[in-house]
Amino acid sequence: MSLKIEPLSPQLGARVTGVDLAKPLDGETFRRIHQAALDHLVVVFPGQELSVEDQLRFTGLFGDIGARNRATPLPEGDSVPPTVMLVSNIRVDGKPIGSLPDGEMMFHADGAYTETPKKFTLLYAIDVPATGGNTLFANLYAAYEALPDDLKRKLAGCHAEQVFYTGSVQKDDPLGPLTGSWVHPVFIEHPDTGRTSLFVSRLMTTRIVELAEDESNAVLERLFDHEEKPEFVYEHAWTPGDLVMWDDRCTNHARTHFAKTERRQLRRTTVSGTALAAAKIKQAAAVEAHPGG
């Protein structure tokens, strides 16, 4: 088997084949997969057969395995280790066996409401609907680069508040208690690539700290509409056995509607991230203006 990495769409995403993630990886294969994740932002491994242990072992290659953030009891109970989330609408005695059970979910980045947003999220498909329940991924590097100059200038140096209520899939519809909130720069420097990413999302971002409420709301609407344009988005239609891994520091993801009558179950793990610094946009402009200094 030889490792093959093929782009999935012009926006982002690559399909990775020729590797069995249920087996330990050699150093070179791991290095190429890690680089593909940084280059393509989303990597799709079709046709994998992964136990919980296999998924945790692969996840752990990229850093510390992320813990769940919420304080309330998990719907998963002790059916999976506390580092694993089941994303599922399957119900036993009327109660979901997993988290984020139903319906369309707005764009967001996992853990954006904490001091250290996730580095990567890994979702492994077990049961998927015949139609719907696709996951959308938006390229936030491309969204930053294509941002109109007035917004690039206005928001350089600004910060945004990110908020999440447990289990919520739509803003202004808190399904559970506050899970957390944190303020990050609007334009972050990706810790591994150094590239600038537009770190706001429709589900989680509530305000731009430096702007008055009306202006903040208007600017955020523009940012959300901009970053969700099809030119930045890849839509993944799931097949059981797909493992999809994405970089939460330079992508947002969302979920399309699916019927309540369809079974959907995916297994999620995450890699812990680090605090995010502001992109060095102003400094770069200053260097250009004073090339000698």
Tell me if residue 125 falls in helix, strand or coil. strand
If contact means CB under 5 to 8 A according to the sort of partner, which of ligand OGA, Mn ion, none does residue 87 touch? Answer: ligand OGA
One character per residue 31-70, x = contact with ligand OGA (rule: CB under 6 A): ----------------------------------------
Residue with tokens 């680069």: 145
* Binding residue for ligand OGA, selected from 11, 50, 59, 110, defined by CB under 6 A: 110
Q: What share of the chain is helix, strand, coil (3-state, %, to 5)?
A: 20, 30, 50
* Binding residue for ligand OGA, selected from 21, 86, 123, 200, defined by CB under 6 A: 123
When asked if residue 228 is in the footprint of ligand OGA (CB under 6 A), the reply is no
Strands (E), the chain: 4-7, 14-17, 42-45, 85-88, 91-92, 95-96, 105-108, 120-127, 135-139, 159-165, 178-185, 187-189, 196-198, 205-208, 233-236, 243-247, 251-255, 265-271
Amino acid, single-letter form, for residue 137: F
Query: Shortest CA distance to 276 belongs to which of 216, 180, 193?
Result: 193
* Binding residue for ligand OGA, selected from 59, 135, 252, 265, defined by CB under 6 A: 135
Q: Please, which residue, 29 or 134, has the CB nearer to ligand OGA?
A: 134
Tell me if residue 278 falls in helix, strand or coil. strand
If contact means CB under 5 to 8 A according to the sort of partner, which of ligand OGA, Mn ion, none does residue 142 touch? Answer: none
When asked if residue 168 is in the footprint of ligand OGA (CB under 6 A), the reply is no
Within 13 Å and on the Cβ side, how many CA atoms surround 163? Answer: 14
If contact means CB under 5 to 8 A according to the sort of partner, which of Mn ion, ligand OGA, none does residue 281 touch? Answer: none
When asked if residue 105 is in the footprint of ligand OGA (CB under 6 A), the reply is yes
Residue 176: burial class (beta carbons within 10 Å; 0-12, 13-18, 19+): middle
Q: Please, which residue, 39 or 102, has the CB nearer to ligand OGA?
A: 102
Query: Shortest CA distance to 174 belongs to which of 162, 183, 165, 182?
Result: 165
Q: Please, which residue, 16 or 105, has the CB nearer to ligand OGA?
A: 105
* Binding residue for ligand OGA, selected from 36, 37, 44, 87, defined by CB under 6 A: 87
**Contact criterion met (CB below 8 Å) for 62 and 192:** no
- Which string of b and e fits 254-271 if b means at least 16 CB within 10 Å? bbbebeeeeebbbbbbbb
When asked if residue 54 is in the footprint of Mn ion (CB under 5 A), the reply is no
CB of 131 to Mn ion, least distance (A): 21
Give the total of residues touching ligand OGA (CB under 6 A). 11
When asked if residue 110 is in the footprint of Mn ion (CB under 5 A), the reply is yes
One character per residue 240-259, x = contact with ligand OGA (rule: CB under 6 A): -------------x-x----
Q: Please, which residue, 11 or 270, has the CB nearer to ligand OGA?
A: 270
> Residues in the site for ligand OGA, rule: CB under 6 A?
87, 100, 105, 110, 121, 123, 135, 253, 255, 266, 268
